Chain A
Amino acid sequence: MRHLIKLAGATALVIGLSTSGFAAEKLKVAFVYVGPVGDFGYSYQHNEGRLAVEKALGDKVETTFLESVPEPDSDRAIEQLVRAGNKLIFTTSFGYMEPTLKVAAKYPNVFFEHATGYKRSANVATYSAKFHEGRYVQGVIAGKLTKANVIGYVASFPIPEVVSGINAFMLGAQSVNKDIKVKIVWANTWFDPGKEADAAKALLDQGADIITQHTDSPAPLQQAEARGKLAFGQASDMIRFAPKTTLTSIVDNWNDYYIARVKAVLDGKWKSEDTWGGFDANLVNMAPYTNMPADVAKMAADTEAAIKSGKLHPFTCPVMGQDGKEIECKGKGVLDDGQILSMNFYIKGIDDKLPQ
């Protein structure tokens, strides 16, 4: 029996050697999603990125994904992907941070990329997008279009990404409308159409005439549409869910980034680093400006172009804190990246207490 196993092992070895001798092996790339691919929001956009990699480099790579991986259960999922021979693994939710680092420490020859986290190691890179740039453009549009001067904001969790988004939105709005107010409801979820709809209803009842959201389902848009109000979409272009209501959507675009990182591994140039780009890096796009007068659409497009070219920074100093005191300016005339990435304060004019 033992001989048989040895023989089988030897045969497998020979076959393995001979096949790898004939064809260059494809690079195996894997993705871990927190939601279903069909959420039409966050995970959907990451999967679009995966498909873009297949399209661009299909002859050199093979991609795999695991969807709806629960965060407390992700250690094993990530390790399974390593054991299946994947050499580059993207883990796309904040909650995968510690598991990604744990698995990465065991497999120094595999490259990992963790989205939206802040801990790196020799073989773990991090990446995220400057979504707040899109929020600033939304703020400008909302400031121009609101008649009630009250905007409803459906927020998810009080983490820096969301807080800096609220502030950027407010700064954009204040740049065109000094009297504007933002009302915030914390839905405490990324994806829960029922809760998101309730939050939007509450905001509309309080007199908001434009709704914006930092949650992933189209439910708030649909509530706004039902009341004949206006709203912004999130993560993917959501206009099909509310054609008469959607002003624009912030669209996450991971395609270029994923292709570039896969190429880096193919060329042997992959490094552990942090990537944080916005309009300029083509990581954040705005969906077409719709349901608004041409002059507002032009203003929005100009603002987008100004941010893209670097002429305009959403957090240009002086930025006033909620108490009216000026925030220390650590960058060159702007708040620096570290300040934005760890933002846990509101700017002046926001009528809400930050949950601490």
Chain B
Amino acid sequence: MSGKNAKSTTLARQERSFLRFTVGQRWEHAILLLSGLVLLLTGLPQKYREFSISQDLLSTPEQIFLIRQVHHIAAIVLSLLVMYHVGRILVLMSRRRLPGDLLPTMQDLRDAWHMLQYLLFLRKDKPRFGRYNFEQKVTYWVVFFSVAIMGISGLIIWFPVQMTQVLPGGVVPAAKLAHSTESVALAIFIVIWHIYHVHIERLNLSMFTGRLSEEELRTFHEKEYQRLANQSGEMK
């Protein structure tokens, strides 16, 4: 704002913003974020029991019960979210209205290769991305499969007796291992990949505001910008 003198105001291009995420999608993200955070915070002390803070948290049967109860409630919330998300995908698919923007394509591999060359100073230009770039697709799919793994393994260690009625007993310790390891892997992934890209590389709050400015869309999702431009041109 400070640099907004008279001259720049007169020369400023008209800026518009574009809807990137619907209110529903933003709510999904917010619930995912909150339930995931609660799950992580109540799960970590159960995994890393050698730390004194974990031992303080889990020092009585009542506290163990409480922290597990919170973990289970957050898990139910997340499960409902997953059901809504997958259900919505199925409904949209049945109506042939599911946008395929998030599906991985060969172009993503080419973009990743291009990006690597750019990062190695072998190319001067960044790849031109569509609605979602390969980094964002990786984020979505890693979270998708991690949540699936943790949901299934979590159910197994929550209900070991019922689950072993049909499954071999060995899946219980395997699920316990997968559940705790996957959670830490996902947490590290979120920090080094997702948080880096939306906070450090550039502050991208479109998942909360729902919108991308024209400038951002043009800079970071050029193909999408052109597609929209062409679309509105045709409509015109």
* Bound together: no
